[in-house]
């Protein structure tokens, strides 16, 4: 596991914001327009609560957003996008955290989620147009999933995309929880409001099998290992979660001490 936290300075955040507004003015507008058009989304929730949950798809995000904001929050957005939608001072004074998940498990969950209709018409259309012709999850990985196609939907994008890593594997997040030990991690998180959260599980995908690794052949397992290599190195996962205790100890030392 290589991910480490850092606290950017106010001056650098202002510089980043100005550069972003100058080069990508439409991205902030799109975030705000999303929350105006669909009342289920709310980017003001993190500002009002002082808690920013970065929602990586298929990582218990809907349950957490409803528990924190009584909405879907701002949706699937990289952590630095919230900076550009608020201000450097607000960003620095907001407690920022996320939930991460075993990449092999997460991909199976995302595929099943889309094959079962997804969350909305956009998800259903994506599956019908891109994935419905494949016989199985293994066939989908071997025949469709590439460095280009994995970015066509948020559900397949690498988790590091949402963590806004710099070249030193640093993230502006204050904390992270593991999907595999989520209740335990929230109870021990260094923020009292997270300790008291009760999650109502929503939007859970069913695998239809005893274990996500049963979906893989040796070839598809290797493909996913290569495509999500940055996730694996940053977060420390192995296919069978055998290093989870080490990952938790590393997180506690780097993010919670």
How far CA 141 is from CA of 120, 122, 137, in Å, comes to 23, 21, 6
Q: Indicate the domain borders of the chain.
A: 4-255
Is residue 45's pLDDT more than 90? Answer: no
What's the CA gap between 215 and 115, in Å, rounded? 14
Residue range 168-211, pLDDT digits in tens: 888 999 999 999 999 999 999 999 999 988 887 755 655 555 69
pLDDT (average), residues 44-65: 90
State residue 64's pLDDT score.
93
Q: What is the pLDDT of residue 39?
A: 62
Arithmetic mean of pLDDT over the chain = 87
Which stretches of 39-174 are assigned E, i.e. beta strand?
51-54, 95-100, 170-171
Q: With bands split at pLDDT 50, 70 and 90, how would you rate the model's confidence at 18?
A: low
**Per-residue model confidence as pLDDT tens digits over 83-134:** 777 778 888 889 999 999 999 999 999 999 999 999 889 999 999 999 999 9
pLDDT bucket at 19, cuts 50 / 70 / 90? low
Ramachandran region of residue 117, left (φ > 0), alpha (ψ -120 to 50) or beta? left
The count of other CB atoms within 10 Å of the CB of residue 189 is 20
The answer to whether residues 45 and 54 touch, using CB atoms and an 8 Å cutoff, is: no
pLDDT band at 234 (very low <50, low <70, confident <90, very high): very high
């Amino acid at each position: 596991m290589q991910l480490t936290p850092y606290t950017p300075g106010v001056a650098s955040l202002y510089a980043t914001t100005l550069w972003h507004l100058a080069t990508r003015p439409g991205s902030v507008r799109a975030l705000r327009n999303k929350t105006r058009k669909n009342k289920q989304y709310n980017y003001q929730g993190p500002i009002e609560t002082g808690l920013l949950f970065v929602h990586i798809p298929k990582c218990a995000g809907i349950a957490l957003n409803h528990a924190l904001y009584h909405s879907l929050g701002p949706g699937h957005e990289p952590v630095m996008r919230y900076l550009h939608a608020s201000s450097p001072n607000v960003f620095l004074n907001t407690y920022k955290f996320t939930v991460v998940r075993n990449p092999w498990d997460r991909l199976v969950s995302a595929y099943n989620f889309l094959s079962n209709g997804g969350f909305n018409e956009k998800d259903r259309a994506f599956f019908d147009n891109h994935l419905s012709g494949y016989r199985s999850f293994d066939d989908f990985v071997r025949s469709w999933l590439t460095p280009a196609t994995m970015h066509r939907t948020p559900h397949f994008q690498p988790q590091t995309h949402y963590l806004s890593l710099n070249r030193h594997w640093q993230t502006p997040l204050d904390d992270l929880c593991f999907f595999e030990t989520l209740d335990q991690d929230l109870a021990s998180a260094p923020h009292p409001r997270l300790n008291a959260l009760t999650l109502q599980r929503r939007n859970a995908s069913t695998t239809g099998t005893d274990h996500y690794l049963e979906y893989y052949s040796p070839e598809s397992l290797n493909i996913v290992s290569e495509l999500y290599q940055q996730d694996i190195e940053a977060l420390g996962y192995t296919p069978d979660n055998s290093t989870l205790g080490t990952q938790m100890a590393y997180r506690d030392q780097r993010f919670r001490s």
